[in-house]
Amino acid sequence: MPHIPVTLVGNVASDVSHRLTTSGVSVTSFRMACTARRRDEQGWVDGDTSFVTVTCWRQLGEHVASSIDKGQPIVVTGRLQVKERKVEDRKFVDVEVVADAVGTNLRYGTTIYRKAARPDQPDQPDHSAHDVGSIAPAA
């Protein structure tokens, strides 16, 4: 099956579920709501909302589980998977994105990034939000 790369912008629509598989691999999933916006005579209005399951594996899953909550605006990039299933006489279509990256949507707020320590390395020093290293200040 070919990989279909996608980028979704929306909100976390469910509680974030984190678990370990029987082989000990970390997996996190949640539902995401993506609502189309359009402009009409009265201004901006909401269109239809699509719901997608987002699945995050391994280290990404661990970071997502400790970083996002229901209701937060997010951006997800990953691979689209569409699967049909049949239950009794009814057909269903499941839409899932296996995430490569997940982040908060900074259009609606701010965040402070904290780099996670790798398990095979000692803890990294905590850099404050004001420590920008070698990045030059904006002119």
Write down the pLDDT at residue 56.
Answer: 96
Domains assigned to the chain = 4-37+45-104 (2.40.50.140)
Question: Helical H runs in 1-139?
Answer: 58-65
Write down the pLDDT at residue 125.
Answer: 45
CA distances from 113 to 13, 73, 131, 134 (A): 23, 16, 12, 17
pTM: 0.76
User: What is the tens place of the pLDDT at every residue in 76-111?
Assistant: 999 999 989 888 889 988 899 999 999 999 998 888
C-alpha span between 7 and 85 (Å, rounded): 25
Write down the pLDDT at residue 117.
Answer: 74
Under a CB-based contact definition with an 8 Å cutoff, are residues 124 and 117 in contact? yes
Q: Which of 52-56, 115-119, 122-126 has the highest mean pLDDT?
A: 52-56
Strands, E assignment, the chain: 4-12, 17-20, 26-40, 43-57, 73-87, 90-104
Q: Which two tokens stand for residue 13?
A: 């629509």
User: What is the tens place of the pLDDT at every residue in 30-81?
Assistant: 999 999 888 888 888 888 999 999 999 999 999 999 999 999 999 999 999 9
